[in-house]
A and B are shown apart, each in its own frame.
Chain A
């Protein structure tokens, strides 16, 4: 690892972890209804007006079933609205490019994708979606789906923190407060910062400009002009990064100069990917009354991410041995980055590309600033593998942490048995009901990912979209369903996924993996809230100690690895071995 790379990565994690505590403490205050240093006085009337307009009785709490119903209602209605919005965008205002209606299957896929916080994009944004669809549809969902995930997490935390309680909070209140006091202020600040770096934010139509250097098209005709796609970019990118959405304004996402203009904007964007997921760990610790518990979970996440990031970076920096044999110099030097630069922006280089690739797949963000399809086999394996941990390594805002806490429950259960005591977490006994629900959560993701991949690799519509034959083609399909089946949305590229087959199967995968996980999670929350608190003693396993962190890491990695090892062996691993052996 070069000193420069090391410095950048250290800087990144120092800033990230330093921000976790203040932001986490702020969010805990938001959810506990404490005073917010004046912001609540400014926005309080808006909050109360929202409740009055929507008929929300803010004082009334819900049991887990009520909470789950509200979550589903919110999601289904917003899914339908977004679907219709795309289908009729040609008749709606703010469409200067006069883009036509989006196809039914693509509309369904996109609607499912944005309601589930996946933000998988089968379409190219600038050539498909009108300004209105982008702003009032997609960007709105960037907020809504993120807030919904955070609401479920908060309900889960309340389940852990409360005792002998029937209710776990009010979904509408959690949703509203998340918007008003967390997502909107953060997004506003970030959008302004990004605009200051040169990101565009306009309602005017696409600009046609003369080329600096005229060129020829494939037919030999001279090309002298270029159309610059512009629009309300910054407002959408801020929440895209913060809300682990990842759905870019442009097709090439944050590799586009208008979506990621400078190294500084790159730093803020990549920082925003993990910001809220990391801070939520602290929020969790605060709300359960023991911040060490939050730090322990954050430590486990970080310790899984770091070695994988190092692997990704070193695989890319190492480059392709086949090129070595051709006498190509792949060493990093003052005049060249070295390594594998295919699919990477020279502005960001290998360090910032791999840092982005690892964080965007660790969190369920999915935005990119480089093309993962062009990575070396091991470099590409890292983002794939990070998603296969059920998006628990930071993961989506809210959803990542509640996914991780489900793994904590499984780890606590095994650990409890090993020390000879009915397992308990934070004083709550983990019994067969919790294990049943947790098993469901752990089970559903591999089921969706493996099953849809298996179908896609044998049916003609699945194979049709492949750009690359061989093991790499398999990796591409596996990556697509891993991404959708984990609500990540990251695209490997190389697969033409905007077909009815991928749109429909992917849409189903995204809906299942979001709600099939959220509902059992809420069920556990409801069951835990009802329980008494068992006081901790020397016989209690400390779940904040390094030993437990190790066990948690072991559980997450083992479950992920054992589930996906055969599939990975037939994709990136075989590619890697073939590359080493000098094959194709």
Chain B
């Protein structure tokens, strides 16, 4: 998570952003943002008026017009700078990624076999469907699917995680990413993306913001801002005739100047949010990337914030990946130590997490030390799908552990029976959500081991917070309904889907969607692909199959299922940042009116000075102070726009109340002080 974090104002990025702010003055680029385009036109207009004033025909002193004009240009540049710095941060990441995209030499196979003839070609010449061989130490030349071999791969370039991962043909770990390195063994890979369309390419263009399209809510907000801009344009443009009338009516003063009207217009239109809007969007994508989640579109980031239902895989998200032994229940006539001893013996060579946990429990409970399996001359009997048991054979003893019905078949085959007390214990454990593991030696059942899913610490609180935010959590598990219900209750999820099949998942998603809810899920397997495609927000594990990644709109490079929750919060934060800054921007107008209106009509109606609540020193100083405040607030708010407003997990009402108080009320009050302060500074520096 911290890996890609660049400091907010990295000097290199700042330097480049400054240069870019000027480059962005291109009218074609400016036209994309209607609010800032109005400021841009105003800057040209006042510059023209300044030149006119220099020629001696000015409507106001040249120095004053220059002051307004310069600060209007700054307003435009500051907005450009905000966008440039957001892009710059992305570009810095893109540059790092691009380094890994070096052209490499690939061995293109004539046939999809390891021993087929190969041709050495540049990675850029590979096309979809080509088959390549990658051996230890070489870069994987492009995105693809492993069709043969097993290898450890360093994916640090994409994920930032330095521990190597296993990639193998078939199953859910078959997809590889171009630019990653094979560390051991070899892989035969079928290329699935043409150069320029690979995952890395997509990631680069996303972080650079080159392919950034406006998201639905951003479009809606832009429309509203454009509408407000038009209203304020009307309110200021008509002030000129109003002023002409007033001068005639009062018989005093001169009509308001175009410079002052332009200054008023720029102060009133929502430049703060208008200037920061695209930076907020880019930064939202950026935060996703910092969380190591790649969004295929900005729309997906925004949709993440709207999710109502989270489908969470039990394993890895809600519980620690593995079940653990928590208790021994001996059968009648068997001591607990004997049971523990037998259980430990049967698990010594069992490298599964469950097996390890039995050894650990036996050691903790009865100080049974680990014994060397080979020294005992024992033969390990591994778990198979047929027997559904594992165990050990030593010195004539046959110790087995496994599911109750499998062990029952085993002991009956040996001429034994299954005791009733063990059977009831087995049922008891299953009801409580645990997994009963029966241990037997020959025909005799020794007892039961209680394997328990361990719910992650703090997850219950997390779900409670999500519930408060209005997000429903649904646990997806392959367990039977009984087990699932018990874990669901312990973890505090709202609902669960037991014995989940891909079809059942798909059906569940559709059910929620038909009720108008937005559903998010994570998945990695090929059989998850339909459900991923159906979900509104689908996070694929980077370790997952290509099919899953194609179907998803977010890819989690860390392959961490808990990330889904973080994703939702980033989406919400993006919207909240936009909303609060819009409110702040509009609330600012109140103070600006009180600064500019008395100043603009000071010569016609001196009584209007009663509205000069801030007691600004002079009309010119008042107007200049408002314009300067309006420009500087953009710079001041850049860090907030980039980092996003702090997100708190609260109900909608509470969030609204807090944000209205901070950004609404704050937005009304702050500029009164800000403008006054700038006015005082202007006086102190004798600039006005």
Q: Which A residues are closer than 8 A to B by beta carbons?
A: 410, 413-422, 427, 430-432, 434-436, 438-440, 442-443, 446-447, 450-451, 453-455, 457-458, 463, 469-471, 473-474, 532-535, 537-542, 545, 547-548, 550-551, 554, 558-559, 561-567, 569-570, 573-574, 577-578, 580-581, 583
- A-B contact number at CB 8 A: 222
A-B contact pairs, 11 of them (CB 8 A): A417-B221, A418-B576, A422-B216, A432-B220, A454-B242, A474-B242, A535-B515, A537-B472, A539-B652, A558-B587, A577-B605
Q: Is residue B527 within 8 Å, beta carbon to beta carbon, of the partner chain?
A: no
CB-CB under 8 A from A570, the residues of chain B are 242-243, 246, 601, 605
Contact with A along B25-58 (1 / 0, CB 8 A): 0000000000000000000000000000000000
Contact with A along B228-248 (1 / 0, CB 8 A): 101110111111111111100
CB-CB under 8 A from B578, the residues of chain A are 417
Asked if A418 meets B583 with Cβ closer than 8 Å, knowing A432-B216, A547-B656, the reply is: yes
Q: Is residue B516 within 8 Å, beta carbon to beta carbon, of the partner chain?
A: yes
CB-CB under 8 A from A538, the residues of chain B are 467-470, 651-652
CB-CB under 8 A from B237, the residues of chain A are 454
Q: Is residue B489 within 8 Å, beta carbon to beta carbon, of the partner chain?
A: no
CB-CB under 8 A from A577, the residues of chain B are 605, 607-608, 610
CB-CB under 8 A from B607, the residues of chain A are 574, 577-578, 580-581, 583
Q: In whole Å, how far is B193's beta carbon from the nearest beta carbon of chain A?
A: 32
Q: A32–B34 Cα gap in the complex (Å)?
A: 44
Other A-B contacts than A436-B220, A454-B242, 13 sampled, CB-CB below 8 A, are: A418-B656, A420-B573, A420-B655, A446-B231, A471-B605, A538-B469, A539-B470, A539-B652, A540-B652, A541-B653, A562-B232, A565-B597, A574-B605
CB-CB under 8 A from B232, the residues of chain A are 562-563
Q: A359–B210 Cα gap in the complex (Å)?
A: 55
- When the two chains form their complex, are residues A471 and B246 in contact, meaning their CB atoms are under 8 A apart? yes
- When the two chains form their complex, are residues A539 and B610 in contact, meaning their CB atoms are under 8 A apart? no
- When the two chains form their complex, are residues B231 and A539 in contact, meaning their CB atoms are under 8 A apart? no
Q: Is residue B69 within 8 Å, beta carbon to beta carbon, of the partner chain?
A: no
Q: A446–B575 Cα gap in the complex (Å)?
A: 29
- When the two chains form their complex, are residues B234 and A410 in contact, meaning their CB atoms are under 8 A apart? no
Q: A582–B576 Cα gap in the complex (Å)?
A: 50
- When the two chains form their complex, are residues A471 and B220 in contact, meaning their CB atoms are under 8 A apart? no
Q: Is residue B281 within 8 Å, beta carbon to beta carbon, of the partner chain?
A: no
Q: In B247-305, which residues have CB < 8 Å from any A CB?
A: 249-250, 264, 268, 302, 305
Question: A420 contacts which of B245, B515, B576, B610 (Cβ < 8 Å)?
Answer: B576
Asked if A421 meets B660 with Cβ closer than 8 Å, knowing A432-B216, A574-B608, the reply is: no
Question: A447 contacts which of B221, B234, B240, B660 (Cβ < 8 Å)?
Answer: B234
CB-CB under 8 A from A430, the residues of chain B are 220
Range of interface residues on chain B? 35 or more
Question: A551 contacts which of B228, B571, B660 (Cβ < 8 Å)?
Answer: B660
CB-CB under 8 A from A413, the residues of chain B are 220-221, 224
Q: In B101-134, which residues have CB < 8 Å from any A CB?
A: none
- When the two chains form their complex, are residues A419 and B250 in contact, meaning their CB atoms are under 8 A apart? no
CB-CB under 8 A from B472, the residues of chain A are 537
Asked if A418 meets B234 with Cβ closer than 8 Å, knowing A470-B250, A547-B657, A577-B607, the reply is: no
- When the two chains form their complex, are residues A563 and B235 in contact, meaning their CB atoms are under 8 A apart? yes
Q: Is residue B482 within 8 Å, beta carbon to beta carbon, of the partner chain?
A: no
CB-CB under 8 A from A550, the residues of chain B are 660
Q: A537–B244 Cα gap in the complex (Å)?
A: 55
- When the two chains form their complex, are residues B516 and A535 in contact, meaning their CB atoms are under 8 A apart? yes
Q: In B511-556, which residues have CB < 8 Å from any A CB?
A: 515-517
Chain B residue with Cβ nearest A567 = B242
Chain B residue with Cβ nearest A548 = B656
Chain B residue with Cβ nearest A545 = B653
Asked if A419 meets B652 with Cβ closer than 8 Å, knowing A431-B216, A454-B242, A558-B586, the reply is: yes
Chain A residue with Cβ nearest B664 = A554
Question: B249 contacts which of A427, A453, A469, A573 (Cβ < 8 Å)?
Answer: A469
Q: Is residue B219 within 8 Å, beta carbon to beta carbon, of the partner chain?
A: yes
CB-CB under 8 A from A583, the residues of chain B are 607
Question: B576 contacts which of A419, A447, A562 (Cβ < 8 Å)?
Answer: A419
Q: A189–B478 Cα gap in the complex (Å)?
A: 71
Q: A341–B578 Cα gap in the complex (Å)?
A: 51
